[in-house]
Amino acid sequence: MAEITRHIRGGVPVAERARWQRGTIFYALMAQAVILLVSGFVVVVAPRLRSDPEFTAGRTVYLPQRELEHRVALSEFQQSAAQPLQLEKLVTSALLPPDLPALPTVPRTDFSPMDDAATLSRDAQALLGQSGFAGAVGGLKSAKSTAAFFGIEDSGERIVIVVNTSVSVRNKAQRRGVSWEHIQNEVRTLIDGLDAGTQFAIVQFSQAVRVFPDYLAPATTANRLAAREWVGRFLKGNPPVADDQVWFGHEAAFEAALRLEPDVVFLVTDGVLDRREVRNGRVAYPEVSYATFAESLRGFRRGSARDPRVHVIGFEMKGAGAEAMRKLAQSHGGRVREF
């Protein structure tokens, strides 16, 4: 019974069971071998059956960019060849100013060949001088003149005299022994000493401004005589303030002066930088700092190629006003004469 149990386990003989196990291992090994053969055929053998790629090109090489560049160059050549020859236009840069004043009204008279030619010439010169047309022609041959004003000398082709005619300046000048007639004579003497080709103007100010003339005029005989008469009649008192006025005091004066684009400016002042303002129906005159005043000057000069020298003749200048006028002259290459 024990012998039978040793040879038969679980109902299957031991020898037969060992034979089945060996068969199973054999079949597994055979399956793995088949799988390895198939994978080697697919991975290694199959690619060798395909031919290597070949790159070929035809005889004609088409370069669209080169052809486009050729067409563009050919088109530009044809356009330039088809255009007619153009001559450069003649351009004048300094004949006459664009803003010429109106010509004067000339009285109508009958021509007589017996009229004196010299008299006619003098009358024409006076009319042209008053109209400003002579100033436009004189601009073609401007001349530099040496000018002296209260002991300060400078030379220039475009000279503007700026005078503060307020009561405070007149009183301060009087206390320093300088009468208003003396100031007027200084203005006349400066203008009389100018060459005929030198241009000049006078700016009178207090809070408002009055200018003679409205443009830079040449210092011809007729214009010097007209300036002498204007100084005696108008260079005093306070010019009237306009309703639409924007600038006041020294700012208004320099706005008018720098608009004429001078190269030399002579300023008569007491150094008080103030500005007229209307507050709650009342007129006030607050002081303006030099920084604000200097900023206004830079705005007036914006777009102008000229940087004028500014000389200051000051009467009883004190404190911040005196310091402001010294800075003004120093920053513009000028001098200061204090009384």
Query: 283 by DSSP, 3-state: which?
Result: strand
As a whole number of angstroms, the distance between CA 271 and CA 323 comes to 8
- Whether 210 has a pLDDT exceeding 60, the answer reads yes
| This prediction's pTM | 0.60
- In-domain check, residue 202: yes
pLDDT of residue 126: 46
Q: Average pLDDT, whole number, for the chain?
A: 79
Q: With the CA atoms of 92, 94, 96 and 100 taken in that order, what torsion angle do they form, in degrees rounded to the nearest 10?
A: 110
- In-domain check, residue 100: no
Mean pLDDT computed over 162-180: 94
As a whole number of angstroms, the distance between CA 162 and CA 278 comes to 25
pLDDT of residue 138: 46
The length of the chain is 339
Burial class (CB in 10 A: 0-12, 13-18, 19+), 301: middle
- Whether 119 has a pLDDT exceeding 50, the answer reads no
As a whole number of angstroms, the distance between CA 18 and CA 55 comes to 63
Tokens of 98: 């664009």
- In-domain check, residue 235: yes
- Whether 290 has a pLDDT exceeding 80, the answer reads yes
The neighbouring-strand residues paired with 313 are 268, 337
Q: How far is CA 152 from the centre of its chain?
A: 32
Q: How far is CA 272 from the centre of its chain?
A: 30
Range in 108-122, 167-181, 305-319 with the lowest mean pLDDT? 108-122
Please name which of 249, 155, 138, 165 lies closest in space to residue 193, comparing C-alpha atoms: 155
- Confidence grade of residue 278 (pLDDT, cut at 50, 70, 90): confident
- Whether 115 has a pLDDT exceeding 80, the answer reads no
- In-domain check, residue 199: yes
- Whether 308 has a pLDDT exceeding 50, the answer reads yes
- Whether 201 has a pLDDT exceeding 70, the answer reads yes
> pLDDT per residue over 237-259, tens digit each?
899 999 889 999 999 999 999 99
- In-domain check, residue 78: no
Mean pLDDT computed over 41-60: 60
- Whether 264 has a pLDDT exceeding 90, the answer reads yes
Range in 79-93, 254-268, 276-290 with the lowest mean pLDDT? 79-93
10 Rama sector, left if φ>0, alpha if ψ -120 to 50, beta otherwise = left
Contact 216, 135 (CB under 8 A): yes
- Whether 288 has a pLDDT exceeding 50, the answer reads yes
Mean pLDDT computed over 283-308: 90
- In-domain check, residue 246: yes
Tokens of 112: 């007589």
Strand ranges (E), the chain: 8-9, 12-13, 145-149, 152-156, 158-164, 199-205, 209-218, 264-269, 277-279, 282-284, 309-314, 336-338
- Confidence grade of residue 305 (pLDDT, cut at 50, 70, 90): confident
- In-domain check, residue 11: no
pLDDT of residue 169: 94
Q: Residue for token digits 């024409």?
A: 124
- Confidence grade of residue 32 (pLDDT, cut at 50, 70, 90): confident
Any idea what the CATH number is for the domain that residue 330 is in?
3.40.50.410
As a whole number of angstroms, the distance between CA 309 and CA 331 comes to 9
- Whether 97 has a pLDDT exceeding 50, the answer reads yes
Range of 250's domain? 117-338
- Whether 286 has a pLDDT exceeding 70, the answer reads yes
Mean pLDDT computed over 182-194: 95
pLDDT of residue 130: 45
The tally of domains found in the chain comes to 1
Residue bearing the bigger pLDDT, 317 or 132: 317
Mean pLDDT computed over 260-287: 91
> pLDDT per residue over 6-29, tens digit each?
444 555 566 666 666 777 777 778
Q: Give the pairing type, strands 199-205 and 277-279.
A: unpaired
As a whole number of angstroms, the distance between CA 129 and CA 127 comes to 5
Residue bearing the bigger pLDDT, 59 or 23: 23
pLDDT of residue 306: 85
As a whole number of angstroms, the distance between CA 297 and CA 281 comes to 29
Report percent pLDDT > 70 for the chain.
Answer: 67
